[in-house]
Structure 1
Amino acid sequence: MSSATPELIHAHRPRLSGLAIWNMCVGFFGIQIGFGLQNANTSRIFQTLGAEVDALAILWIAAPLTGLLVQPIIGHFSDRTWTRFGRRRPYFMVGAILTTLALIAMPNSPSLWFAAAMLWIMDASINITMEPFRAFVGDNLPEEQRTAGYAMQSFFIGAGAVFASVLPWLLSNVFGVVSTAEAGVVPLSVKIAFYVGAIGLFAAVLWTVLSTREYSPEQIAAFERARLGGAAPVDDVAEPPAKSVRGWLGAGLGCAVAGLLGFVLIGALDLEKELLILAGFVAGFGLLMIAVGMMQRRGMTNAATEILNDIFRMPATMRGLAVVQFFSWFALFAMWIYATAAVTSVHYGTTDTTSAAYAEGADWVGVLMGVYNGVAALAAFALPVVAKRIGRKATHAVMLLLGAVGLFGVFAIRDPGLLWLPMIGVGFAWASIVSMPYAILSAAVPDRKMGVYMGVFNIFIVVPQLLAATVLGLILRSLFDGQAIWALVLGAVSFVLAAISALLVREHRA
């Protein structure tokens, strides 16, 4: 893409070449290396450092909470950023540097709580980099190319995750690096995998930063003026008035009281401590709404008031997609948390993290993660073709149903050597989850707020993760005798609900 200058203002975004789209998305290869290492190895590191299976979900809670806070804020400020280095790219670089350092530190954690802290730092850093990448495609591509653009991101997500997921297995089985260690010590194969991943992440993000340009604020404004002057439905482009002071205070008080009541009931009924986090989230959101109401009463305008108002006046398309995201990511989070524990206990018959069988099973889970991500990378090229034929909503619903079949297949199959088969279905679902909702959303939100709405959209990823982290352990202990494999069955059911919800989304038509 040519350098953006005020002299080159077009009424509509020009189509970009395949190479330009490729360069825009290469950075996602690096981002997903970080996510892939985190998803495939964090539970293993936690168990190695002494965590019990039913405590894994609560240790993962730092990741979604970080994204909940970071992404809307980064989106809000990146919408308002313009430097000689661009609008989104400065955030790419800062996040990449911080993530690289966290990847080096994570496998060297001296204690369980240090590892949990590193997970928090790593996830915050990845979110700083990732959030502007979602808006980057919406900024730079015309509507008719956005499905292809997000599908290209999906390809790099899959490719990066394959690279990250199979690294420990390759190091131990091909290069002979030791994959076992004494109790409380992370194996050398995992450590080296994190070091290699850190280098790969930084290099990929740097590629995108150096090989792309961005449109200027004047160009973005021109694109939006053209969009607002078109035939799009008014309710999809015009913003409703800000929520009233009374509305903020009433809603905030209701949430705060509900959260505090939750604290009391959890203590009085001696319920699981994980539920305290969920109650705290509700109470905290209520207090935030009260604070916004007070600031709005005084005529104050800042990031908090603007972001909260944007949340409550999101387009109808975004509200429908929120339901789809909720069920999709609940399923994914169930898989990421419990896949290692499920496969090692059911298919390899061990929960001893120091045993050779556990190491073999955990490494095989890494390969399985690589399989579904590899399938996703290939499926990404088919998504725009399928979407052109049956529509984006129907395409997404079909892919989610394949994911449901995949997760249930892990439960039904007992031969570990055949577990790669159900991962094919999960791969199709993953390719669609990380591309199709964003393609649908980008057509329904104002151009000037692409960043903040992509960040707010992350809330509907975080909330199901928060719910999974607080209640999955309780459900498994209460109903399934602590057997991790049942978390994958619950994930399959959640994928089915997501598919049904996808068909009900009111899609914006340009």
Structure 2
Amino acid sequence: MSQPKLSFWQVWNVSFGFLGVQFGFALQNGNASRILSDLGADLHSLSLFWLVAPVMGLIVQPIVGAASDKTWNRFGRRNPFILGGAVVAAIGMALMPNASWFVAILAPMLMGAVMLAIMDAAFNVTMQPFRALVSDMVPSEQRNLGYSVQSLLINIGAVIGSLLPFLLTNVIGLDNAAKAGEVAPSVIWAFYIGATVLLGSVLWTVFRTKEYSPEEYNLYKGIEDAPMPTSTQKTNLRTRMSGFVDLIVDMPTTMKQLAVVQFFSWFALFIMWVYTMPAIAQHIWGIDAKWFSSEFLNSVGNQLPLDIAKAKGQAGDWVGIIFAAYSLFAAIFSVFLTRIANRFGRKKTYAGSLILGGIGYLSFGLFPNSEIVHVNLLITEVDIPQSALMLLIPMIGVGIAWAAILAMPYAILSDSIPAQKMGVYMGIFNFTIAAPQIVSGLIAGQLLRFVFDNEAIYIIGLAGVFMLLGAVSVYFVKVSSSPETSH
């Protein structure tokens, strides 16, 4: 029996929780470097603190994926993990910008890193079953639609989450300048709001999506004589590890080839999230790199001149604007992504999008410090360097690349994975997201320090080169036409 098609709104409900999860991710991506820098982290060490995010993904997602494949109870198959992760993530979001409260336990900078780790681990507990839920509920012929709706909701959440600190400063009036060793009030309240949105959107999906029973799932996916997964099935650790290694060795060829593309594209994305704020603060707002050095700050008694604190706050807020811009462009592109992929093929769509993203990163350096202009953003008016406004142009290419990265690898991969192993393979595929970020985190800071002399704009250019290499590697991906149940 073929799997029933879903209405548009059923597909929407299945994916709606992604809006809140990405709202939280957007706040993290746009503000974690800002928070850690405010709490005392050096510029070249930022990427090391950011390592906790991919490491958590590397550890958590395959475990959660395998567990959700085998845990089928009255609350559902994926929903218990989705909801549990969201609750912990919301708590982490509320605590991270308040790391200075816990000075008696750890230094604020280290406490911030701990909260980042907890928050990101919980995000991953929520995110992986969400991806598997889309594969579970959406039939193969609607897969492009399913992942495009998912990408649209992710980017709506990202737009609002990225804009929030800027809005709280320029519309509500909260202060965006941080005192030494503390976090700006606008950022703290943004994280409180983000925690609320995350939990609310996940609850919507959990209560509006009825998962299939094991019998229905096996029937729709063409799985015959398969044992019914239950939460009580147990195997010893050695057997589980042996089976896990076998899965990695026998992973579909398409997954291995996509891993190369993922390496280049996620290496570039990690650099963007970590170093955009210092890059534009230095290159556009004219802040000397020494003001990002804990050693220099200690030598001047940890006192930031008012103009430097104000400029860093403005640069941090503008990161939210340009991150919201690329997410908005990604959301718009997502609306057309299904038609484009259906017409030109997934590979050409994927490669072309990465090319535009690479060009976007490379063009960051074309906009140096310039005169201040008055800009009406409709929601508020601000005075900013003209070159900051011009950064919205390269964000078009970055946004198109981001939309494709969120949808195309999974659309290509989903037809190559046996349905009964969809969750664990989607978890294993997260290795191809986490590993390049770990490599980037280990070497980017050293490249910035010893090759680029702490001038962060050059490492954004390096991200552009890696994105272009990702586009080239798409050519070598062999798209599978096998049915869902094939290996």
**In the alignment, what sits opposite 2:68?**
78
**In the alignment, what sits opposite 2:300?**
none
Distance 1:472 1:190 in 2: 26
> In the alignment, is residue 195 of structure 1 matched against residue 192 of structure 2?
yes
Q: Secondary structure at 2:73's aligned position in 1?
A: coil
Aligned with 2:23 (options 22, 33, 36): 33
> In the alignment, is residue 15 of structure 1 matched against residue 12 of structure 2?
no
Aligned with 2:466 (options 487, 491, 494): 494
**In the alignment, what sits opposite 1:264?**
none
Distance 2:215 2:118 in 1: 35
> In the alignment, is residue 381 of structure 1 matched against residue 335 of structure 2?
yes
Aligned with 1:181 (options 168, 178, 182): 178
* 8 Å contact from structure 1 (residues 106, 119) kept in 2: yes
- Displacement, 1:218? 1.9
The residue type paired with residue 319 of structure 1 is: K
**In the alignment, what sits opposite 1:304?**
241
> In the alignment, is residue 341 of structure 1 matched against residue 278 of structure 2?
yes
> In the alignment, is residue 410 of structure 1 matched against residue 364 of structure 2?
yes
Distance 1:50 1:300 in 2: 41
* 8 Å contact from structure 2 (residues 218, 224) kept in 1: no
> In the alignment, is residue 166 of structure 1 matched against residue 163 of structure 2?
yes
Give the alignment's TM-score, normalised by structure 1.
0.82
* 8 Å contact from structure 1 (residues 397, 503) kept in 2: yes
Alignment of 1:197-216 (within 5 A): 197-216=194-213
> In the alignment, is residue 436 of structure 1 matched against residue 412 of structure 2?
no
Distance 2:109 2:425 in 1: 35
Distance 1:332 1:142 in 2: 30
Distance 1:226 1:48 in 2: 54
Distance 1:102 1:181 in 2: 21
* 8 Å contact from structure 2 (residues 452, 459) kept in 1: no
Give the alignment's TM-score, normalised by structure 2.
0.86
Distance 1:163 1:212 in 2: 24
Distance 1:216 1:410 in 2: 50
Aligned with 2:138 (options 123, 137, 141): 141
* 8 Å contact from structure 2 (residues 176, 186) kept in 1: yes
Q: Secondary structure at 1:58's aligned position in 2?
A: helix
> In the alignment, is residue 42 of structure 1 matched against residue 42 of structure 2?
no
Further displaced range: 344-353 or 147-156: 344-353
The residue type paired with residue 359 of structure 2 is: V
**In the alignment, what sits opposite 1:369?**
323
Aligned with 2:399 (options 427, 443, 448): 427
Alignment of 1:282-361 (within 5 A): 302-350=239-287, 351=289, 352=291, 354=304, 355-361=309-315
Which stretches in structure 2 are left out of the alignment for 5+ residues? 101-107, 226-234, 293-303, 369-386, 483-487
- Displacement, 1:124? 0.3
Distance 1:227 1:454 in 2: 22
* 8 Å contact from structure 1 (residues 165, 366) kept in 2: yes
**In the alignment, what sits opposite 1:231?**
none
Distance change in 2, residues 1:307/1:363 (3 Å): same
* 8 Å contact from structure 1 (residues 29, 160) kept in 2: yes
- Displacement, 1:227? 10
* 8 Å contact from structure 2 (residues 65, 129) kept in 1: yes
**In the alignment, what sits opposite 1:101?**
91
Distance 1:339 1:197 in 2: 21
Distance 2:179 2:279 in 1: 22
The residue type paired with residue 217 of structure 1 is: P
Instruction: Please give the per-residue CA displacement for 1:329-388, whole angstroms capped at 9, x wherever unaligned.
Output: 001001001000100011001154741111111110111000001111111111100001
- Displacement, 1:303? 3.1
Distance change in 2, residues 1:304/1:419 (3 Å): same
* 8 Å contact from structure 1 (residues 12, 226) kept in 2: no
- Displacement, 1:425? 0.6
- Displacement, 1:413? 2.0
- Displacement, 1:144? 1.4
- Displacement, 1:308? 2.1
**In the alignment, what sits opposite 1:287?**
none
* 8 Å contact from structure 2 (residues 223, 420) kept in 1: no
Distance change in 2, residues 1:469/1:36 (3 Å): same
* 8 Å contact from structure 1 (residues 28, 157) kept in 2: yes
Q: Secondary structure at 2:454's aligned position in 1?
A: coil
**In the alignment, what sits opposite 2:44?**
54
**In the alignment, what sits opposite 1:267?**
none
Q: Secondary structure at 2:60's aligned position in 1?
A: helix
Instruction: Please give the per-residue CA displacement for 1:223-277, whole angstroms capped at 9, x wherever unaligned.
Output: 343799xxxxxxxxxxxxxxxxxxxxxxxxxxxxxxxxxxxxxxxxxxxxxxxxx
* 8 Å contact from structure 1 (residues 407, 492) kept in 2: yes
- Displacement, 1:481? 1.2
**In the alignment, what sits opposite 1:235?**
none
* 8 Å contact from structure 1 (residues 49, 184) kept in 2: yes
* 8 Å contact from structure 1 (residues 324, 502) kept in 2: yes
> In the alignment, is residue 448 of structure 1 matched against residue 420 of structure 2?
yes
- Displacement, 1:34? 1.0
- Displacement, 1:216? 1.8
Residue-pair matches, total = 431
Distance 1:218 1:306 in 2: 24
The residue type paired with residue 162 of structure 1 is: V
Q: Secondary structure at 1:180's aligned position in 2?
A: coil
* 8 Å contact from structure 2 (residues 177, 312) kept in 1: no
* 8 Å contact from structure 1 (residues 76, 307) kept in 2: no
- Displacement, 1:304? 2.4
- Displacement, 1:301? 5.1
Distance 2:473 2:135 in 1: 24
* 8 Å contact from structure 1 (residues 404, 493) kept in 2: yes
- Displacement, 1:99? 0.4
Distance 1:301 1:13 in 2: 36
Query: What is the root-mean-square deviation in Å for CA atoms of aligned residues?
Result: 1.6
**In the alignment, what sits opposite 1:243?**
none
Instruction: Please give the per-residue CA displacement for 1:141-177, whole angstroms capped at 9, x wherever unaligned.
Output: 1111111111111111111111111111000011111
The residue type paired with residue 331 of structure 1 is: A
Distance 2:250 2:398 in 1: 33
Distance 1:498 1:325 in 2: 7
Distance 2:43 2:311 in 1: 17
Aligned with 2:118 (options 118, 121, 136): 121
Q: Secondary structure at 2:322's aligned position in 1?
A: helix
Distance 1:406 1:185 in 2: 33
